Amino acid sequence: MKLFVPFLIKCCLLITTLYFVLDLFFSQTTVLIIINLVTISFLFINYYQAIHFNNWLDKSKINELPNGLGIWEMIFSKIYKQNQVQTKIQNDLNLTLEQFTSAAEAMLDGVIAVNKNDEVIWCNRQAEAMLKINLKKSYKRPIGYTFRNTEFNDYLLKGDYSETLKVYDFSNKKNLEFKISPFRSNMKLIICKDITQIITNENLRKEFVSNFSHELKTPLTVIIGFLETLDTTKNNLDEGTKKIFELMNDQAIRMRKLIDDLLLLSNVESNPMEDRSLKISSNKFFNKLQKEAKLINNKNHKINFDIDQNIIFIGSEKELESAFINLISNAIRYTKERGQINIKWSLVLGRPTFEINDNGIGIPKNHIKRITERFFRVDAARSRDTGGTGLGLSIVKNIIEQHDGLLKISSEIGKGSKFIITLPKERLV
């Protein structure tokens, strides 16, 4: 409308001027005929340009600029320029998409994008190979139908993706690790890794350690037996030789402790036969623990037990006893003479909770994260001197994990340490 009114005024003025000019030379009828011819020609030209314009759009020869007359030339030129810009944006987008797809294809991990209904919208070749799926067939189908695994489905539905999920895919005989990252408002990127080789190596290593420890146990028992016999007759030996045999005996006992710990660790890690669903009464369990603590308390510590005797819980009595006694032994060993050790067993937020704190030497903050690793010690010499193997906390952590529990450690150098074991509600009777 904004353009049409001035255009209409201009046309009227032009026709009126033409009329008056022609009127000076020609008769009125001739003038009207000429004006009509001019108007018809004008309309015809515009109609022709409109058809031309329509053909140009239809033939999608949008990359060639057609010839136009007057205002039509400007229209063609503007559309042509806009189209050039759009084509460039489109090309850039295509290139970015291509680069992204190539990058995703080059990844060693499988990548799957799912929409808000968990339907597959895209996946790379690695994902197709790992999960034995086909993007064309699986497109817009729920990932749960395409890759059937109960643990994976539960993980997907749970919505808490802070930790990765490791599953064994029975149909493809593969160990897979999944990580999910939500993106945009309700889409998810599923990243999967084939960890079969890692798990195989890990199992081989565990098997080797377990077999090796077993093999060492028998000869070591014989050696310790002979050393003990020698020990009883050592009065016949001179002081130097006695010292040597005493040292041999100490080291052999240390080796036996190390082997026992290694065997215990491999048993906890890979013993599916261990029954972790036995009913345990706190009363009997902690009475035994209290007696053991008394026996190993060789530094005159005050050990205070605060036990909720009513708790009946479920687990492996042997393993849990081993875990708790390990923590008590550590508290005794890493606390100076006549220290204070407090042990509490209670329900915290409905969960059976074991808490032990000492006023011992403490653990440096930067070591707390690694303290449960095998053979990790803050001070190797101190650990050895007190009969440690560096495996105690690793055993504790494994036992607690096998019971679906959590181990929390806090400590302050020179002030003491606190270890808290929380078992899940399901382990309460």
Q: Contact positions toward ligand ADP, by CB under 6 A? A: 330-331, 334, 358, 360-363, 371, 376-379, 383, 388-394, 417
* Closer of 156 and 393 to ligand ADP (Cβ): 393
Min separation Cβ 291 and ligand ADP, Å:
21
Min separation Cβ 392 and ligand ADP, Å:
3
* Closer of 224 and 378 to ligand ADP (Cβ): 378
Q: CA 41 from chain center: how many Å?
A: 75
* Closer of 21 and 413 to ligand ADP (Cβ): 413
**Two tokens, residue 207:** 């098997």
Q: CA-based angle 235:240:244, to the nearest 5?
A: 90
Min separation Cβ 159 and ligand ADP, Å:
35
**What single letter denotes the amino acid at residue 261?**
D
Min separation Cβ 115 and ligand ADP, Å:
47
Min separation Cβ 367 and ligand ADP, Å:
7
d(CA 392, CA 94): 58
Min separation Cβ 384 and ligand ADP, Å:
8
Min separation Cβ 245 and ligand ADP, Å:
25
Nearby residues of 156 by Cβ (< 8 Å), 6 or more positions away? 118, 143, 144, 180, 188, 190
With b for 16 or more beta-carbon neighbours within 10 A and e for fewer, the 181-193 pattern comes to eeeeeeebbbbbb
* Closer of 153 and 372 to ligand ADP (Cβ): 372
d(CA 358, CA 328): 9
Angle of helix 196-232 versus helix 239-270 axis, rounded to 10: 150
Of 39, 48, 55, 36, the closest CA to residue 72 belongs to 48
* Closer of 79 and 378 to ligand ADP (Cβ): 378
Residue 324 has a CB neighbour count (10 Å cut-off) of 23
Sheet strands side by side (includes 302-307): 302-307, 340-348, 351-358, 416-422, 406-412
**What single letter denotes the amino acid at residue 106?**
A
* Stretch (H or E) spanning 102: helix 71-106
**Two tokens, residue 182:** 């939500």
* Closer of 212 and 376 to ligand ADP (Cβ): 376
Min separation Cβ 254 and ligand ADP, Å:
11
* Closer of 188 and 301 to ligand ADP (Cβ): 301
* Closer of 322 and 346 to ligand ADP (Cβ): 322
Strand blocks (E) in 106-225: 110-114, 120-123, 165-169, 174-183, 187-194
